[in-house]
């Protein structure tokens, strides 16, 4: 037998191997100042492409006022207790009604957190007889929810309908044997690649197979569709999504989440999602502030239009300059390079220190070992000047990488941070 803590001291997780690098720079960086395209990092003003504030609501004056007024009136403690026991309010109920109406569902349920929310909803929906079928590139919250499932699960290749149907066939055979049901889980927008889930093709297979569909549309809510109701609306299949989930941490620039669907199923979840039954209710400022954000999403389609203008400009500009990017119609814009971890670190430091651009860099194990991904997040608050500045900087980075510059020179000594 070993001492548990001693084992942890000796082991390195996939990212912990880089924990010797200074905090607050590559990992746990501090962006300071008002949320927006220009913030302060490491004592310098940088052009920021790393926040999911898609519609620019984080510093919208009406949002700031609603948050401030609700906090002054109610504080953060109210309501005390879980919703089921003593933490309910007319505001929580009203917000749920507004959310359900917006995403074209009968009812909705507020959740305290996005990550925990998806995980807990999955846990409540299935038992040991049921089978889960899910996309291989699903977010970690879905993966962890699937891991909790004590029954069988099958994974299909990302957006590959041939693979999906093959797994559906396996799931159907097993469910017939166990007497269980099938839950299919995918995403509206896959946040790392920017790919849209092929929801049209998924729901088409409902004609041949008996399953229910849960869609995590965290990056699609507010950004996609004619009204911003998400990828289901964008693809014309919103009514075929059995459970629609989104967090407030992206377009709504807040904290919390919701799940929407048929009234009877949402009622079941209210009495079954343990992380909500045993948790304090979402604080009132987040509920009232959330309603203000939703109001602005509905009243100001120009925010979504501005976002799409910036999206198109940055994506088209990168493609014209020969960069490898996923050809997507969603906000997340991954820019791919060939190289190792050392090159990724040097490129990131060069971009931040010498070009004044803060952009999250993604390395193995999130991407293959020889891939470096810079993940650009366009927002409605960015300008065309921001786009041009970024295209110039990335062109310089590409030239340096091709010339081997990042292999031979340590641009900034990490001991200085």
Q: Note the pLDDT of residue 368.
A: 81
The boundaries of every CATH 3.40.640.10 domain in the chain are 61-299
Distances in Å between the Cα of 158 and the Cα atoms of 135, 137, 202, 410 are 5, 6, 12, 37
CATH class of the structural domain 61-299: alpha beta
396 has pLDDT over 60: yes
Q: Note the pLDDT of residue 5.
A: 84
216 has pLDDT over 80: yes
16 has pLDDT over 70: no
The boundaries of every CATH 3.90.1150.10 domain in the chain are 4-54+301-416
Q: Note the pLDDT of residue 411.
A: 53
Confidence of residue 367 (pLDDT cuts 50, 70, 90): confident
Fold exhibited by the domain 4-54+301-416? 3.90.1150
229 has pLDDT over 70: yes
Quote the percentage of the chain above a pLDDT of 90: 81
Distances in Å between the Cα of 13 and the Cα atoms of 10, 25, 336, 370 are 10, 19, 24, 19
Residue 20, exposed/middle/buried by CB under 10 A (0-12, 13-18, 19+)?
A: exposed
What is the distance of C-alpha 47 from the center of its chain? Answer: 21
Q: Note the pLDDT of residue 21.
A: 60
- The predicted model gives 237-261 an average pLDDT of 97
Least confident span in 25-34, 250-259, 393-402: 25-34
Contacts of 392 (CB under 8 A, 6+ apart): none
Q: What is the pLDDT of residues 171-208, one digit of tens each?
A: 999 999 999 999 999 999 999 889 999 999 999 999 99
Q: Which residue has the higher pLDDT, 132 or 368?
A: 132
Confidence of residue 364 (pLDDT cuts 50, 70, 90): confident
SS3 sequence, the chain? CCCHHHHHHHCCCCCHHHCCCCECCCECCCEECCCCCEEEECCEEEEECCCCCCCCCCCCHHHHHHHHHHHHHHCCCCCCCCCCCCCCCHHHHHHHHHHHHHCCCCEEEEECCHHHHHHHHHHHHCCCCCEEEEECCCCHHHHHHHHHCCCEEEEECCCCHHHHHHHHHHHHHHHHHHCCCEEEEEECECCCCCCECCHHHHHHHHHCCCCEEEEECCCCCCCCCCCCCCHHHHCCCHHHCCEEEEECCCCCCCCCEEEEECHHHHHHHHCCCHHHHCCCCCCHHHHHHHHHHHHHHHHCHHHHHHHHHHHHHHHHHHHHCCCEECCCCCCCEEEEEECCHHHHHHHHHHHHHCCCEECEEECCCCCCCCEEEEEECCCCCCCHHHHHHHHHHHHHHHHHHHCCHHHHCCCCCHHHC
Least confident span in 25-34, 116-125, 354-363: 25-34
Q: Note the pLDDT of residue 19.
A: 61
Backbone angles phi, psi at 354, to 5 degrees: -105, -20
- The predicted model gives 9-24 an average pLDDT of 63
Q: Note the pLDDT of residue 414.
A: 44
- The predicted model gives 123-152 an average pLDDT of 95
Q: What is the pLDDT of residues 24-77, one digit of tens each?
A: 788 888 999 999 999 999 899 999 999 999 999 999 999 999 999 999 999 999
């Amino acid at each position: 037998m070993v001492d548990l803590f001693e084992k942890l001291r000796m082991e390195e997780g996939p990212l912990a191997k880089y924990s010797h690098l200074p905090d607050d720079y590559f990992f746990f960086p501090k962006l300071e100042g008002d949320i927006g395209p220009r913030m302060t990092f490491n004592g310098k003003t940088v052009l920021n492409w790393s926040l999911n504030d898609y519609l620019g609501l984080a510093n919208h004056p009406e949002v700031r006022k609603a948050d401030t007024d609700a906090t002054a009136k109610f504080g953060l403690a109210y309501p005390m207790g879980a919703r089921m026991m003593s933490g309910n309010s007319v505001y929580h109920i009203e917000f749920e009604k507004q959310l359900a109406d917006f995403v074209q569902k009968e009812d909705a349920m507020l959740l305290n957190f996005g990550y925990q929310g998806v995980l807990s909803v999955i846990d409540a929906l299935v038992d040991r007889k049921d089978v889960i079928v899910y996309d291989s590139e699903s977010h970690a919250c879905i993966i962890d929810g699937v891991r909790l499932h004590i029954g069988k699960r099958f994974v299909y290749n990302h957006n590959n309908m041939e693979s999906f149907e093959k797994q559906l066939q396996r799931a159907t055979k097993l469910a017939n044997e166990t007497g269980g049901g099938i839950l299919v889980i995918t995403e509206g927008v896959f946040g790392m690649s920017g790919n849209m889930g092929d929801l049209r093709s998924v729901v088409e297979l409902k004609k041949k197979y008996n399953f229910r569909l849960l869609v995590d549309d965290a990056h699609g809510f507010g950004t996609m569709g004619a009204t911003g109701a998400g990828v289901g609306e964008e693809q014309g299949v919103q009514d075929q999504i059995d459970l629609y989930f989104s967090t407030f941490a992206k377009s709504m620039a807040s904290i919390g989440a919701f799940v929407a669907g048929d009234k009877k199923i949402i009622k079941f979840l209210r009495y079954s999602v343990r992380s909500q039954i045993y948790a304090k209710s979402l604080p009132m400022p987040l509920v009232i502030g959330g309603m203000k954000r939703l109001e602005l999403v509905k009243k100001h389609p120009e925010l979504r239009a501005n976002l799409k203008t910036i999206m198109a400009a940055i994506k088209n500009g990168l493609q014209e300059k020969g960069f490898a990017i996923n050809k997507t119609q969603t906000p997340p814009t991954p820019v791919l390079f060939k190289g190792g971890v050392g090159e990724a670190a040097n490129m990131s430091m060069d971009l931040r220190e010498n070009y004044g651009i803060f952009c999250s860099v993604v390395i193995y194990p999130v991407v293959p070992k020889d891939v470096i991904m810079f993940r650009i997040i366009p927002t409605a608050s960015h300008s065309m000047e921001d786009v041009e500045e970024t295209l110039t900087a990335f062109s310089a980075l590409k030239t340096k990488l091709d010339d081997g510059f990042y292999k031979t020179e340590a641009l900034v000594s990490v001991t200085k941070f």
